[in-house]
Amino acid sequence: MNQEEHPIGVFDSGVGGISALQAMIRTLPQEHFIYYGDTANAPYGTKETEEVIACVREVTDRLMKRKIKALVIACNTATGAAAFTLRKELTIPVIGMEPALKPASEVRKDGDILVLATPLALHQEKFNLLMEKYGEGAVRVPCAGLMELVEQENWNGAKKYLEEVFALYDLKKVDAVVLGCTHYVFLKGMIRRMLPENIVITEGSDGTARQLKRVLAKNHLLKEHGEGKVELETSGNPEDIGKMRRLLKRDVSE
């Protein structure tokens, strides 16, 4: 098998990375993706960095045995914790994600940018560097527990959680909201309905998909013909596969 025919490994701590996978399938419909949700070890966002790296190494070893041609870390927390380490250790391209603070900064007028993310993601060095470049007006909004509500498909619970979060801020003084966790993308439609129309919502899925395509093309790994396919795997309950399938079909604008 030519290397461009090999699969692309995609993983997250749970089902949130399915939102990034949706964007990758739209951008690269001919590719073969293996998505691994590390649900047995979720959430990553409340763990120490070394714990996250250990989890990520275990998932990566599993995916490398499948002869993947590239690895996508479809998780902001895991990217911040482990991307640098993986790029040193692996011989294949490693694509990560980061909170979409740069596009939010580009639409900012003189208001705030609310950055919703896990507690760990908001205090990693990678995010601090982003803040130095694009963080004028940015406010860290740690959302411990929100990722778990998405994992549980508890949409009413998520709505109540978000209402309480946004009640803490004067939304008339907010220009943008950054969804800094792939799980939160499944709440995008809900969040859109909660916010004034002028507030821009940014997230990184499409940018990550475009970056994956660029990297594959640069490394002569792009599969340009044939039909794509998706395999779903989990370290946790087999029922999580059904949840992944449901989310893969879910319109994030709902």
Q: Which residues are known to be catalytic?
A: 75, 181
Name residue, tokens 């059904």: 242
Number of helical (H) and strand (E) elements in the chain, helices listed first: 11, 9
Q: What Cα–Cα distance (Å) separates residue 184 from each residue in 66, 161, 180? A: 29, 12, 7
Across the beta sheet with 70-73, the strand order is: 94-95, 70-73, 8-12, 32-37, 229-234
Nearest-10 Cα torsion for 124, 126, 128, 131: -140
Contacts 24+ apart (CB under 8 A), 106-111: 107/175, 107/176, 107/200, 107/202, 108/136, 108/137, 108/175, 108/176, 109/175, 110/137, 110/175, 111/137, 111/173, 111/174, 111/175, 111/176
Task: For the chain, list the strands marked E by DSSP.
Answer: 8-12, 32-37, 70-73, 94-95, 112-117, 138-142, 174-179, 200-202, 229-234
Find, among 182, 188, 92, 79, the residue nearest to 129 by Cα. Answer: 79
Is-cis flag, bond preceding 43, omega within 30? Answer: yes
